[in-house]
């Protein structure tokens, strides 16, 4: 099903997400990259732990589908998400869910996970990124940034042709500064917000799927105790006291008995209460 046939409001946030990419091209490219990545490694799907990964993933996916049916938004995943799960033999300490529902778990992460409850949160977090269209949003930001930059450069050369070379040079310098600044003031903060959103949705999905989410804050403390430069997972998934606080706040909200079916689960990006 085409993205355009879905309600534009994300059922988990209740908002329209920033989207400037061609959906067919975007998903085709994502699926190609996923297939190429999986083909590099020996598959461990038929091992005991591989079957455990598959079972947890399928349980989370069924839970998501049941939740969306209950709130009348099954259109969001029906005929669109093409779920696929693989455990691959690799020393890489990572797990990810590509846009469209393509999941890959690198066996190196197993050294940090002891049971299905911990597995459920890690997988729920990664699946949440796909459900919240985070990759699509980041790709849209990058595409817009490149388009604006290209138009700006064209304008500077028009200044040159009109005899305002000094102005053109100054404008080009400003564009370079703006491009560098956008990485720190736009793209990176957006990424940090995405991690907090995936944490909250991930822990909620795990809870609805019947897993013990009480262990999540302590698990993440243990998980994040490893050197971020040593393990790939932490290079793109920063963990700090604020993130753990958001996990604890999310857990408290779940335990409070709040009706999670009466409105979007993530109407706002989770923030730390000082």
How much of the chain exceeds pLDDT 90, in percent? Answer: 35
Which range has the top average pLDDT, 95-109, 130-144, 189-203?
95-109
- Structural domain containing residue 211: 22-269
- The pLDDT of residue 128 is 93
- The pLDDT of residue 138 is 74
Cα end-to-end span (Å), the chain: 43
Confidence of residue 7 (pLDDT cuts 50, 70, 90): confident
Report if residue 176 sits inside a domain: yes
Report if residue 274 sits inside a domain: no
- The pLDDT of residue 110 is 93
In SS3 terms, the chain reads as CCHHHCCCECCCCCCECCCCCCHHHHHHHHHHHHHHHHCCCCECCCCHHHHHHHHHHHHHHHHHHHHHHHCCCHHHCCCCCCCEEEEECCCCCCEEEECCCEEEEEHHHHHHCCCHHHHHHHHHHHHHHHHCCHHHHHHHHHHHHHHHHHHHHHHHHHHHHCCCHHHHHHHHHHHHHHHHHHHHHHHHHHHHHHHHHHHHHHHHHHHHCCCCHHHHHHHHHHHHCCCCCCCHHHHHCCCCHHHHHHHHHHHHHHHCCCCCCCCCCCCCCCCCCC
Domain count, the chain: 1
Report if residue 263 sits inside a domain: yes
Beta 95-98 vs 102-106: how paired, if at all? antiparallel
Residue 104: strand pairing partners: 86, 96
Question: For 142-179, what is each residue's pLDDT tens digit?
Answer: 665 554 444 444 444 444 444 444 544 544 444 444 44
Report if residue 14 sits inside a domain: no
Q: How far is CA 28 from CA 32, 33, 100, in A?
A: 6, 9, 10
Report if residue 213 sits inside a domain: yes
Higher pLDDT, 96 or 171: 96
Which residues neighbour 139 within 8 Å (Cβ) at sequence distance 6 or greater?
21, 26
pTM exceeding 0.95:
no
Q: Average pLDDT of the chain? A: 78
Higher pLDDT, 114 or 228: 114
Count of Cβ atoms closer than 10 Å to residue 206 Cβ: 31
- The pLDDT of residue 133 is 84
Q: How far apart are CA 14 and CA 254, in angstroms?
A: 19
Residue 134 has pLDDT above 60, yes or no: yes
- The pLDDT of residue 141 is 65
Question: For 31-90, what is each residue's pLDDT tens digit?
Answer: 888 899 999 999 999 999 999 999 999 999 999 999 999 999 999 998 889 999 999 999
Report if residue 218 sits inside a domain: yes
Which range has the top average pLDDT, 101-115, 170-184, 241-255?
101-115
Question: For 234-251, what is each residue's pLDDT tens digit?
Answer: 444 445 677 888 888 889
Residue burial 131-140, b: 16+ Cβ < 10 Å; e: rest: bbbbbbbbbb
Q: How far apart are CA 88 and CA 36, in angstroms?
A: 13
- The pLDDT of residue 267 is 86
Report if residue 200 sits inside a domain: yes
Q: How far apart are CA 235 and CA 241, in angstroms?
A: 16
Report if residue 242 sits inside a domain: yes
Residue 265 has pLDDT above 70, yes or no: yes
- The pLDDT of residue 205 is 96
């Amino acid at each position: 099903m085409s993205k355009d046939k879905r309600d534009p409001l994300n059922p988990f946030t209740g908002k329209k997400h920033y989207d400037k990419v061609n959906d067919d091209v975007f998903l085709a490219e994502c699926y190609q990259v996923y297939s190429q990545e999986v083909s590099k490694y020996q598959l461990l799907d038929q091992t005991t732990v591989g079957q455990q990964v598959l079972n947890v993933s399928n349980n989370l996916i069924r839970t998501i589908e049941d939740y969306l049916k209950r709130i009348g938004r099954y259109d969001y995943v029906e005929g669109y998400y093409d779920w696929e799960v693989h455990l691959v033999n690799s020393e890489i300490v990572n797990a990810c869910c590509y846009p469209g529902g393509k999941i890959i778990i690198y066996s190196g992460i197993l050294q940090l996970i002891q049971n299905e409850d911990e597995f459920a949160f890690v997988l729920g977090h990664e699946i949440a990124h796909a459900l919240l269209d985070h990759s699509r949003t980041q790709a849209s930001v990058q595409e817009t940034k490149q388009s604006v930059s290209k138009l700006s450069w064209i304008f500077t050369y028009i200044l040159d042709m009109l005899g305002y070379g000094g102005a053109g040079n100054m404008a080009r310098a400003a564009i370079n500064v703006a491009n560098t600044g956008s990485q720190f003031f736009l793209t990176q903060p957006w990424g940090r917000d995405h991690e907090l959103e995936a944490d909250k949705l991930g822990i909620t999905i795990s809870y609805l799927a019947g897993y013990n989410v009480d262990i999540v804050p302590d698990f993440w403390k243990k998980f994040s105790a490893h050197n971020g430069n040593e393990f790939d997972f932490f290079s793109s998934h920063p963990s700090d006291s604020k993130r753990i606080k958001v996990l604890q706040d999310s857990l408290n909200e779940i335990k409070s008995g709040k009706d999670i079916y009466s409105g979007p689960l993530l109407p706002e990006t989770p923030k730390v209460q000082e």
